[in-house]
Amino acid sequence: MRGICKSFGRVQVLQGVDLTLNAGEVCALVGENGAGKSTLIKILAGVHRDHRGLISLCGEEVRFTGPADALARGIAVIYQELALVPHLSVAENIFLGREPRHRWGTCDRRSRQRAAADLLRGRLGLELDVSRRVVDLPIGAQQLVEVARALCRAARILVMDEPTSALSEAETRRLFAVIRQLRNSGVGVIYISHRLEEIYAIADRITVLRDGRCLGSWPSDALPPGQLVQLMVGRRIEQLFPQRKPCSRTELLRVDGLWLRNRAGDGWTLRDVSLHLRAGEIVGLAGLIGSGASELLGAIFGRFHTPDHGRLLLEGRPLRWPTPREALQHGLVLLTNDRQTSGLVRPMSVLHNLSLATLARCTRAGWISNRREYELCCSTVERLRLRPPSLRAPVTALSGGNQQKVLLGRWLLTDPRVLLLDEPTRGVDVASKADIYQLLCELTAAGLGVLLITSELGELLGLADRILVLHRGRVAAHFERDQATPEAVLHAAMGGLQRSEEAGSTA
């Protein structure tokens, strides 16, 4: 790609960007949210056609007429926001648009099921019922299905935009093994990630974008992490995880003996889970996909049916299991792990997404005051260093990291006491992560409590005062900050440590 330029209205998103990808190479494309990475790959995928600049594929100049044209020429893209059809099965999603056929033209469902299962097992090492609907799978499993769909198309160029954002450490290693196989077979891979350790683990070369311009391309072993971060953000970030004062001994939240059935009602998602959270404390929840961590936060917030057993106490007082409305009234807020389907209201503006949970403070006699709504949101925009083109702009015009800040801002406007955060930095660049970490430091210093789920072990160990590890719906281990190591947490998450009486009591 040479001299790629792209504008949206008066906003120049890409300014003369160059990108080269060789056969049998993994090229990491990095930059802050809003640097232009997603726009660049959408041009490569044929989504945006009204751009300037040249695209050359295997020495031949091309101009794609649309995504189907790019796909036919061997370019497959796995976007950060999954493009699966939720109410179709796993097998139907993998082979969507290229279903195996009987000789008389009808769909060969049996062959499709078998081929999908073989692909997931053989290429990704994943045992999954391919007849299940995608909507019934956890977000991490959905991401692996998206990877499988791209693999089955025998692409020459594979673009991966944050492919590990919902994967565990073990699943990430499995995906990296697949990428290395593809590289060895001559496939070129463009890998987009904000996780520096992943970039250096898998990339042969690193290309850096900042503010819509390409700053250059370097072999990965010639670009130290500190220099890479400075290139991406234009400034040094001295300390990613800020120092925090010890938390108080005042208990904010307690869960005792929680049992929660699964959706089908024929098994348990959570089994006898207990924990407590103190004011000013961050408690990390670790576990693999299916561990029950996300369901635990959802149960506290009232996303599911009433738990079968267990008590919830807020500041020492028993509280019946709430609905989401009641949870908000008690100062409990939940940031979900999928901002597109269960967080943002996509047709709405940045302003309306921010004010959605606090409209009562902007209304008089049933009418919304636009002035009050605007004034309410302005201070939060400054606090979060959120820089939208306009508060009236659609929230979809923002980068992924800024969309995540909008969701955080929405809940902070409610003046919460307990933050239930499920992957708060997923798809967020290094500088925005540092902003969010600093914000958590300020909030806990003010006495808020945080229950935090993150699939990034470094983030978990850097932020949490205590860590609870869940395995198949049970608390498998409990670590104080000075006891936790990556090896110990992973060992427990994979079932290596069984829940002890000590873990159950101290949790």
pLDDT tens across 86-120, in order? 899 999 999 988 888 888 888 889 999 999 999 88
Of the candidates 184, 291, 234, 279, the residue with the CA atom closest to the CA atom of residue 34: 234
CATH number (domain holding residue 272): 3.40.50.300
Q: Which residues are paired to 129 by β-bridges? A: none
pLDDT band at 323 (very low <50, low <70, confident <90, very high): very high
pLDDT band at 496 (very low <50, low <70, confident <90, very high): low
Type of residue numbered 381:
V
pLDDT band at 237 (very low <50, low <70, confident <90, very high): low
Q: How many CB atoms lie within 10 A of CB 439?
A: 19
- Interatomic CA distance for residues 71 and 364, integer angstroms: 53
Of 233, 264, 294, the residue at which a domain comes to its end is: 233
Q: Give the pLDDT of residue 506.
A: 40
350 has a pLDDT exceeding 60: yes
Of the candidates 41, 45, 151, 175, the residue with the CA atom closest to the CA atom of residue 93: 151
For residue 343, tell me if it sits in a domain.
no
Regarding beta strands 309-314 and 251-261, do their DSSP bridges make them parallel or antiparallel, or are they unpaired?
A: antiparallel
**Cα 73–chain centre separation:** 30
User: Which pTM was predicted?
Assistant: 0.69
For residue 440, tell me if it sits in a domain.
yes
pLDDT band at 505 (very low <50, low <70, confident <90, very high): very low
Q: Name, in order, each residue with C-beta under 8 angstroms of 87's C-beta and a sequence gap of 6 or more.
A: 133, 134, 135
Same domain for 270 and 141: no
> What is the rounded radius of gyration, in angstroms, for the C-alpha atoms of the chain?
23
For residue 342, tell me if it sits in a domain.
no
Q: What is the mean pLDDT of residues 463-489?
A: 91
pLDDT band at 503 (very low <50, low <70, confident <90, very high): very low
pLDDT digits (tens, 9 = 90+) for 181-236: 889 989 999 999 888 889 999 999 999 998 899 999 999 999 998 888 888 877 66
Same domain for 253 and 229: no
Helix (H, G, I), strand (E, B) or coil at 469: strand
Q: Which residues are paired to 160 by β-bridges? A: 78, 191
Type of residue numbered 207:
T
Helix (H, G, I), strand (E, B) or coil at 66: coil
Least confident of 269-283, 374-388, 468-482: 374-388
Helix (H, G, I), strand (E, B) or coil at 318: strand
**Cα 317–chain centre separation:** 34
Helix (H, G, I), strand (E, B) or coil at 33: coil
Same domain for 439 and 319: yes
Q: Which residues are paired to 62 by β-bridges? A: 55
Instruction: Give the orientation angle of helix 370-383 with respect to helix 400-412, to 10 degrees.
Output: 120
Q: Give the pLDDT of residue 259.
A: 94
For residue 340, tell me if it sits in a domain.
no
- Interatomic CA distance for residues 173 and 378, integer angstroms: 42
Domain range holding 165? 2-233
- Interatomic CA distance for residues 109 and 113, integer angstroms: 6
Same domain for 316 and 270: yes
Q: What is the mean pLDDT of residues 144-157?
A: 84
**Tokens of residue 28, six digits:** 């990491």
- Interatomic CA distance for residues 23 and 507, integer angstroms: 51
Q: Which residues are paired to 349 by β-bridges? A: 394
Q: Give the pLDDT of residue 385.
A: 80
444 has a pLDDT exceeding 90: yes
The tally of CA atoms less than 13 A away on the side-chain side of residue 402 is 23
Tokens 């049970």 belong to: 474
Number of domains in the chain: 3
Counting every residue written for the chain, the total comes to 507
- Interatomic CA distance for residues 300 and 419, integer angstroms: 11
- Interatomic CA distance for residues 122 and 100, integer angstroms: 19
343 has a pLDDT exceeding 60: yes
For residue 336, tell me if it sits in a domain.
no
The DSSP string of 283-328 is EEEE--TTSSHHHHHHHHHT-SSPPSEEEEEETTEEEPPPPHHHHH
Helix (H, G, I), strand (E, B) or coil at 253: strand
- DSSP class of residue 47 equals S
Torsion of CA 169, 173, 179, 180, to 10 degrees: 150
Q: What is the mean pLDDT of residues 42-51?
A: 92
Same domain for 397 and 307: no
Of the candidates 126, 80, 61, the residue with the CA atom closest to the CA atom of residue 290: 126
For residue 338, tell me if it sits in a domain.
no
149 has a pLDDT exceeding 80: yes
Residue 125: phi, psi to the nearest 5? 65, 35
Residue 140: phi, psi to the nearest 5? -65, -40
Of the candidates 159, 138, 131, 130, the residue with the CA atom closest to the CA atom of residue 147: 159
Same domain for 224 and 260: no
**Tokens of residue 308, six digits:** 């079968």
Same domain for 117 and 19: yes
Same domain for 428 and 406: no
pLDDT-above-70 percentage for the chain = 96
279 has a pLDDT exceeding 90: yes
Residue 58: phi, psi to the nearest 5? 55, 40
Same domain for 352 and 313: no
- DSSP class of residue 424 equals T
Same domain for 246 and 226: no
Of 189, 214, 233, the residue at which a domain comes to its end is: 233
Of the candidates 253, 215, 209, 137, the residue with the CA atom closest to the CA atom of residue 429: 209
Of 202, 233, 264, the residue at which a domain comes to its end is: 233
For residue 339, tell me if it sits in a domain.
no
Q: Give the pLDDT of residue 498.
A: 46
Same domain for 90 and 22: yes
- Interatomic CA distance for residues 428 and 12, integer angstroms: 22
Same domain for 267 and 201: no
326 has a pLDDT exceeding 80: yes
Burial 288-302 (b: 16+ CB within 10 A, else e): bbbbbbbbbbbbbbb
For residue 341, tell me if it sits in a domain.
no
**Tokens of residue 405, six digits:** 């800040």
